């Protein structure tokens, strides 16, 4: 029997040594960087998006005894005060206003009712010791995470600043200190969050494979189909672009960025005419790719329009490539295209699971778009 190792000769590899992957070259051989406080907060929200009540469960486990603590006659236990405040939360105008501003696609009354039915809230309210100081904030986070996890849109579409401001407001309405989370609870939550962020290959990952596959198969299926049969997609987008008056900024998110790049790099929009008098490809004056796989596919020599190493065609428009290091579907273009594109890194302040859809809630990203539009607008 003779082997046929076609992969060594014809298989794909990172032709630029991984330059398209954010952090790949810098961290190679060094191991993971120490997490910052913001990294820890983002990891915590990754856990909450998956299980909104997990911090309350940790509070019940780490906060102290589940036996009722004795209080002076007439005194209300701290946990009961939070439960009472929660029951009237939807009637408070300031809480309703903050909830409405966040636009969570779920009435505050519905989120309160769901949390009120959860037995874990009762167990957390009964926990003694320092747990009582953490309960208002963790309850506020649970309400917010519950609504985000069940919204029709991805959790990352809500700006992190708006989300955090809502949690602070709800914490205050529930009678808590916005900074009060006992050290033991915080440590347990961060440990669980980091475990969640690194659980690929674990039994939990296998158990959740069906749900995750359902979310990811659409994206990877679209990519695979486009790379094999992308002509119809490019023709559809090209027709839409031709109907627009110039100058045009072509904006593509994720696979849309690959489509937009291929349209320009292959000359489909030119109808064989070549670069126009202004040096632009047709009426397209700028390309903005966002969370896109163009650089990786180019480095893998897998782009339909450009073999690796040939660079960009003459007259290619101004190109800005936006990426977020926590968006594992975004890549850097500047080094693999040898400086012919400007990379812009943004921080969507969302966990890996939500970062890919969070650009539209990032003020920095909108500022970049404004700068590109100003550049191509006629004087």
**Are 289 and 367 contained in the same domain?**
yes
Residue 18's pLDDT band (cuts 50, 70, 90): confident
Q: What's the mean pLDDT in 169-198?
A: 63
Q: What is the pLDDT of residues 326-352, one digit of tens each?
A: 898 899 999 899 778 999 999 999 988
In a domain, 105, yes or no: yes
Mean pLDDT of the chain: 78
Find all residues with CB under 8 Å of 98, minimum gap 6, and list them. 165, 166, 169, 170
Residue 212's pLDDT band (cuts 50, 70, 90): very low
Position 304 pLDDT exceeds 60:
yes
**Are 136 and 245 contained in the same domain?**
no
**Are 115 and 249 contained in the same domain?**
no
Distance, CA of 75 to CA of 13 (rounded, Å): 68
In a domain, 236, yes or no: yes
Distance, CA of 354 to CA of 156 (rounded, Å): 5
Q: What's the mean pLDDT in 91-108?
A: 93
pTM score, whole prediction: 0.71
In a domain, 117, yes or no: yes
**Are 273 and 179 contained in the same domain?**
no
Residue 189's pLDDT band (cuts 50, 70, 90): low
**Are 240 and 310 contained in the same domain?**
yes
Q: Which of 6-20, 86-100, 108-122 shows the lowest per-residue confidence on average (mean pLDDT)?
A: 6-20
3-state secondary structure the chain: CCCCCHHHHHCCCCCCCCCCCCCHHHHCCCCCCCCCHHHHHHHHHHHHHHCCCHHHHHHHHHCCCCCCCCCCCCCCCHHHHHHHHHHCHHHCHHHHHHHHHHCCCCCHHHHHHHHHHCHHHHHHHHCCCCHHHHHHHHHHHHHHHHHHHCCCCCHHHCCHHHHHHHHHHHHHHCCCCCCCCCHHHHHHHHHHHHHHHCCCCCHHHHHCHHHHHHHHHHHHHHHHHHHHCCHHHHHHHHHHHHCCCCCEEEEEECHHHHHHHHHHHHCHHHCCCCCCCCCCECCEEEEEEECCCHHHHHHCCCCCCCCCCCCCCCCCCEEEEEECCCCCCCCCCCCCCCCCCEEEECCCCCCHHHHCCCHHHCHHHHHHHHHHHHHHCCC
Q: Are 256 and 281 in contact (CB under 8 A)?
A: no
Q: What is the pLDDT of residues 109-141, one digit of tens each?
A: 999 999 999 988 988 888 766 667 788 888 999
Q: What's the mean pLDDT in 182-203?
A: 49
Domain carrying residue 303: 230-376
**Bigger pLDDT: 110 vs 231:** 110
- Give the count of domains, the chain: 2
Angle at 13 between CA 7 and CA 19, to 5 degrees: 175
Distance, CA of 43 to CA of 304 (rounded, Å): 36
Of 39-48, 163-172, 222-231, 303-312, which one has max mean pLDDT? 163-172
Distance, CA of 305 to CA of 137 (rounded, Å): 52
Q: Are 45 and 351 in contact (CB under 8 A)?
A: yes
In a domain, 12, yes or no: no
In a domain, 347, yes or no: yes
**Are 56 and 160 contained in the same domain?**
yes
In a domain, 37, yes or no: no
**Are 272 and 176 contained in the same domain?**
no
Q: What is the pLDDT of residue 187?
A: 53
**Are 189 and 238 contained in the same domain?**
no
Q: What is the pLDDT of residues 247-282, one digit of tens each?
A: 899 999 998 999 999 989 987 665 433 444 333 446
**Are 352 and 249 contained in the same domain?**
yes
**Are 174 and 266 contained in the same domain?**
no
> Domain ends where: 197, 218, 242?
197
Position 301 pLDDT exceeds 90:
no
Residue 350: exposure state from Cβ atoms within 10 A (0-12, 13-18, ≥19) = buried
| Residue 263, domain CATH | 3.40.50
Q: What is the pLDDT of residue 280?
A: 43
In a domain, 5, yes or no: no
In total, the chain counts a number of residues equal to 379
In a domain, 151, yes or no: yes
**Are 268 and 360 contained in the same domain?**
yes
**Are 167 and 247 contained in the same domain?**
no
């Amino acid at each position: 029997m003779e082997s046929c190792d076609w992969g060594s000769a014809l298989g794909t590899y990172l032709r630029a040594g991984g330059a398209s992957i954010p952090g790949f070259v810098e961290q190679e051989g060094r191991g993971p960087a120490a997490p910052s406080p913001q990294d820890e907060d983002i990891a915590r929200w990754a856990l909450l998006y998956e299980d909104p009540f997990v911090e309350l469960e940790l509070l019940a486990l780490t906060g102290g005894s589940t036996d009722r603590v004795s209080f002076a006659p007439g005194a209300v236990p701290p946990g009961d005060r939070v439960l009472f405040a929660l029951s009237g939360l939807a009637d408070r105008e300031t809480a309703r206003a903050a909830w409405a501003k966040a636009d969570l696609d779920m009435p505050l009354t519905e989120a309160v009712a769901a949390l009120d039915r959860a037995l874990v809230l009762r167990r957390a309210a009964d926990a003694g010791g320092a747990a009582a100081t953490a309960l208002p904030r963790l309850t506020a986070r649970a309400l917010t995470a519950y609504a985000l996890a069940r919204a029709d849109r991805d959790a990352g579409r809500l700006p992190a600043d708006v989300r955090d401001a809502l949690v602070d407001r709800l914490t205050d309405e529930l009678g808590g200190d916005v900074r009060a989370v006992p050290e033991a609870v915080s440590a347990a939550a961060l440990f669980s969050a980091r475990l969640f962020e690194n659980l690929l290959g674990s039994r939990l990952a296998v158990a959740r494979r069906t749900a995750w596959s359902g979310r990811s198969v659409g994206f990877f299926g679209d990519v695979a189909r486009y790379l094999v049969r992308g002509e119809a997609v490019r023709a559809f987008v090209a027709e839409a672009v031709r109907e627009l008056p110039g100058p045009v900024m072509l904006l593509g998110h994720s696979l849309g960025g690959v489509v937009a790049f291929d349209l320009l790099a292959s000359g489909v929009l030119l109808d064989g005419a070549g670069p126009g008098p202004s040096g632009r490809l047709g009426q397209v004056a700028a390309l903005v790719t966002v969370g896109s796989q163009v650089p990786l596919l180019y480095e893998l020599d897998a782009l339909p329009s450009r073999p690796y190493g040939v660079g960009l065609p003459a007259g290619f428009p101004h190109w800005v490539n936006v990426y977020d290091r926590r968006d594992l579907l975004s890549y850097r273009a500047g080094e693999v295209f040898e400086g012919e594109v400007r990379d812009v890194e943004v921080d969507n302040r969302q966990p890996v699971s939500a970062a890919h859809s969070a650009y539209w809630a990032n003020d920095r990203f909108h500022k970049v778009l404004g700068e590109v539009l100003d550049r191509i607008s006629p004087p």
